[in-house]
Amino acid sequence: EVQLVESGGGLVQPGRSLRLSCAASGFKFDDYAMHWVRQAPGKGLEWVSGISWNSGSKGYADSVKGRFTISRDNAKNSLYLQMNSLRAEDTALYYCAKGSGTYLRGYFDYWGQGTLLTVSS
């Protein structure tokens, strides 16, 4: 059974940094691209970032480019999102999602339960 468990969310002041983590199990982690998708309270889904199986390709939404960095550790079956210069508009539930293939194509076939980030002074 595929499991994705996010952690690292919390309350942080504007301008500060935070790192989210996603622990994956139930599938061969290093065979698949991985993504972060967020959902602001009461709003829709927004793709944030994705990374290919070997970290060779990474992509970011314009709203986070230059502030967020995605990474993965295939030895630890883990996905990360380093978030710097946080803004109030980054407040959201952050989902870790498994890509359907090896590279940054396709769709998101499994989702975690999310970790909540609140950016506020």
Partner 1 sequence: QSVLTQPPSASGTPGQRVTVSCSGGSSNIGSNTVNWYQQLPGTAPKLLIYSNNQRPSGVPDRFSGSKSGTSASLAISGLQSEDEADYYCGARDDSLNGWVFGGGTKLTVL
In angstroms, the CA 47 to CA 120 distance is 22
Task: Dig out the tokens for 36 from the structure.
Answer: 């972060």
> x-or-dash pattern for partner 1, window 38-77, by CB under 8 A?
------xxxx--x--------xxxx---------------
Query: Per CB under 8 A, which of residues 79..98 are in contact with partner 1?
Result: 95
Q: CA–CA separation, 108 vs 106, rounded Å?
A: 7
Three-class secondary structure of residue 87 per DSSP: coil
Q: Which residues contact 56 (CB under 8 A, 6 or more apart)?
A: none
Contact status: 110 vs partner 1 (CB under 8 A) = yes
Structural contact between residues 31 and 53, judged by C-beta atoms closer than 8 angstroms: yes
Closest contact distance (angstroms) between CB of 54 and partner 1 is 19
CB of 111 to partner 1, least distance (A): 4
Size of the site for partner 1 (CB under 8 A): 23
5 binding partner 1? (CB under 8 A): no
Query: Where do contacts with partner 1 occur on this chain (CB under 8 A)?
Result: 35, 37, 44-47, 50, 59-62, 95, 100, 105-114
